[in-house]
Each structure stands twice: as structure tokens, then as C-alpha cells.
Amino acid sequence: MQITLMGFMFLLVSALLGYIYSPHLDSAPPRWVHFAHGLLLFLYQTFDAVDGKQARRTNSSSPLGELFDHGCDALACTFESLAFGSTAMCGRGTFWWWLISAITFYGATWEHILGASITTTSGSTITKLINSKPATVTPTSLITYPLPSILIPISSYFTNTLILPVINGPTEGLMIIYICHFFTAIVGAEWWAQPFGKSLPFLSWLPYLEGIPTFKAVLFLMIAFGVTPTVTCKCAVLLSLFGGQHYFIVTCSVTNVYKVVKARNGSMPLALAMLYPFVVLVGGVLMWDYLSPSDIMGRYPHLVVIGTGLTFGYLVGRMILAHLCDEPKGLKTGMCMSLVYLPLAIANVLASRLNDGVPLLDERLVLLGYCAFSVALYLHFATSVIHEITNALGIYCFRITRKEA
């Protein structure tokens, strides 16, 4: 676990570099920063994989290791999105890159939680979740491999199996992100800001995309050919570009969950209830931004993404804990605790409609409060769970040796 934590620190450094050299994620940082982003992401992936190897080698796998691994991966969605936002100069669009990765990861967790093994589409078993560190869908890979994540974990929660394609995010997907960072170190971040038709002339024939910034065009293409087919589970013709595997994964995820729920005489609405907190979280933040008189996503992208990302991490952690404790399937009251701040923030911006566009409290202070609330909630959850699991199993968090009886 300590190896995974060390790897996670590389992503914190990467996000910090992005903030220092591009506070609003809309200006070009020095080219060495892009190279650093790629290198730090590679180190994160390597340390995460090595930790799994170490756990199997020392036979020290535990439920705490699974929770720790998934928790770091969920938070990595946030910090790698910020790093990529600085590389591509996404500005307020950074939130949408995070959302793509979060949707994918949350669904992957939903499916994974129900599973005891991870398999590829070829059917080969990779690892048993109980006895080894799970090969989860790495959050950063979800930036380039959108959507299946939210439905993969959720599906695995119910089916006892996490299905990954032969070419998947944790390996090939991360390589694409490395290439993006290293490529930007060569050509400069301005490449992402110039018109799509100029950046990729061989794709200039695509309608409506030629004149918009490259990073927006790529985002639209990912949504159109990855997210939309995955959500609607229609139009298999779109599988050939960007999101075909995700369509397969998510369709299978929903289908597998449905079959398992029906076989157990369960309730599909109850199974889907675990999606509601995530939907409310995203909807609440988008409503806050829409009503905001000060453009919170444009002026404070780091605060919005970090606050929302930590809340997302709490939801993922709570779902995994429910799996480890074999709790009844359905909506968990604790998950809703993470959403109590959003109504206050929305009420604050609604008050501005009655006060000549001036909210009751400065939105920067409200955002800082949002981040502080999310940090406090997540730290309380993490420390409480670590304390209880280590005491119950008689183990240490960062040591292999067992506690003396």
C-alpha cells in the first residue's frame, strides 16, 4: 500500500506543477512541465503495478489493500485531469475531462464490487480480488478511454466479475496519455488551442469541428463516439472510433448486472440506486456553475475539480466498503452525506438573482469551503476505515508484519 501511496504522490506533484505554471489551466506552461506530467504519470502507473506484485509476492493482500488501491485510483482521476488540463490548456473544460474519467471509473467500481475476479473479453481470469490486488481500471486511463468505468465497477459489484477488453485503459490507455504529454512537450500546448482542422488536417473533413479548438474537438469526439453510445447502448456502428470497447464493456456491465440481480430475485432499481449520489453530485455542480455569476469553472477550475473529485472519491470508497462488508445492495445513507454542501452553494448563487447579481457570500470563499468540507469528509472516512480494518484483522496499514495478539 505504501508503494501505491508513493505513486499517488507523483500525481499530486503533477497537478501542483500545473497549478503553478497555469493557475487557470488556460495558459501554456513551460514545455518541460508537459514532459514531467508524462513521466510522473508513468511512475504512478509503475508504482501501482509494482504494489500489486509485491502484495502477491509477500502474500499480504487484504481488503484494506483493495480499498486503498481503489481509493487512490479514484482520486487519481482528479489530479491527472488537472495535469492534462494544463497540458491541453482546457480551462473550464477540464471539468468535462474529469467527468469522462469519473463516469467510467464509478461504473467500473459498481461492477467490480460485485465481482470476485477480473477477466478480459477473451475470458481469461487475471486475478482474484480477495487474494490479490485487483487490476482496476486506472482513473487516468479513463481520460482517453471514457465511460465504461462507471458502469464497470457498478456491474462488477453485482456480477462478481470485472470485464476488461483485450486492449484496455490501465495499459494501452495510459500509454496514449503519456504520448499526449510527451507530444505536447515537443510541439507546445498551443497545438491544443489552435483550430482542429489545422492541428489534424487529415480530419478536417469532419463537420462542425474544423474551426474549434483541438482540445474541444477531441472532447466532443470522445463524447460522441465513446460516451453517448455507451450510455444509450445503441448504434453499434459508432464502435469503430474512440469508444467501441467501452460500448461493449458497459453494455455487458448493465446486462450482466441485470442477469445477476434477476437470478438472485433482487431489484434492478435497488441496484441502480447506487448511481443516484453520483448523478446528484454531477448535476448539482453543473447547476451551481450554470447559476454562478462569477464563472466558477473558468476562474477556479482547480477548486471545482478538487472539491468534486474528493467527493467522488468518497462515493467510490463507500461503495467499495459496502462490498467488503457484504452490505445489502442499494443506496447507502453515508453516501448522501457527501452531497449536503451543494444545496447551500446553490442557494447562495440563487440569492444573487435577488441581489443584483451579488451572492450572499463570495463564491471563492464558498468554493474553499466546498474543498475543505470534501477534504474533511474524505479524511474522516479514510482514517476511520483504516483504523477499524487494521484492528479487526490484526494488521498494520504500511507494514507487512502482523500485530502481536
394 Cβ contact list (under 8 Å, min separation 6):
402, 403, 405
Scan for cell 455507451, then name that residue: 230
Which residues are CB-contacts of 321 (< 8 A; sequence separation ≥ 6)? 67, 327, 385
Q: What is the spatial distance between Cα 70 and Cα 48, in angstroms, rounded to a whole number?
A: 11
- pLDDT given at position 248: 43
Would you state the cell numbers that stand for residue 237, as one nine-digit string? 456502428
- pLDDT category at 282 given cuts 50, 70, 90 is very high
Give every CB contact of residue 343 below 8 A, 6+ residues apart in sequence.
284
* Contact call for residues 134 and 127 (beta carbons, < 8 A): yes
CA-CA distance, 101 to 308, in Å (whole number)?
13
Q: What is the pLDDT of residues 308-366, one digit of tens each?
A: 999 999 999 988 888 788 777 677 777 888 899 999 999 999 998 888 888 889 999 99
Q: What is the pLDDT of residue 103?
A: 83
pLDDT digits (tens, 9 = 90+) for 225-259: 655 554 544 333 333 333 444 444 444 455 656 66
In 3D space, the residue among 141, 142, 138, 223 whose CA is nearest the CA of residue 175 turns out to be: 141
Q: How confident is the model at residue 205 (pLDDT cuts 50, 70, 90)?
A: confident
Torsion of the alpha carbons at 80, 86, 88 and 90, rounded to the nearest 10: 100
Query: CA-to-CA distance for 78 and 281, rounded, in angstroms?
Result: 15
- Per mean pLDDT, which range of 46-50, 107-111, 349-353, 380-384 is the poorest? 107-111
Binning pLDDT at 50, 70 and 90, where does residue 88 land?
very high
One-letter amino acid for residue 359 of the chain: P
Residue 246 annotated as catalytic: no
- Residue 32 and residue 346: Cα distance in Å, rounded? 39
How far is the C-alpha of 362 from the C-alpha of 359, rounded, in Å?
A: 6
pLDDT(200) > 50: yes
* Residue with the larger pLDDT of the pair 298 and 331: 298
Band of the pLDDT at 223, cuts 50, 70, 90?
confident
Average pLDDT in the chain: 77
Give the model's pLDDT for residue 120. Answer: 37
Residue holding cell 476505515? 385
pLDDT of residue 261: 66
Q: 140 and 76 in contact (C-beta within 8 Å)?
A: yes
pLDDT digits (tens, 9 = 90+) for 163-186: 555 556 667 777 888 889 999 999
Q: Annotated catalytic residue: which of 70, 112, 181, 246?
A: 70
pLDDT score recorded for residue 94: 94
How far apart CA 250 and CA 253 sit, in angstroms, is 5
Query: What average pLDDT does range 103-121 have in this prediction?
Result: 59
CA 100 to chain centre: 8
| Residues 322/332, Cβ–Cβ less than 8 Å | yes
**pLDDT tier for residue 305 given thresholds of 50, 70 and 90:** very high
- pLDDT of 10 higher than 50: yes
pLDDT at position 40, please? 95
Residues 6+ apart with CB under 8 A from 4: 47, 48, 51, 68, 69, 72
pLDDT at 280: 94
- Domain positions in the chain: 2-393
Judging by DSSP bridges, how do beta strands 161-164 and 117-120 pair with one another?
Answer: parallel
Lowest mean pLDDT among 25-29, 257-261, 285-289, 305-309: 257-261
| Res 204: pLDDT | 80
**How do beta strands 125-128 and 117-120 pair?**
antiparallel
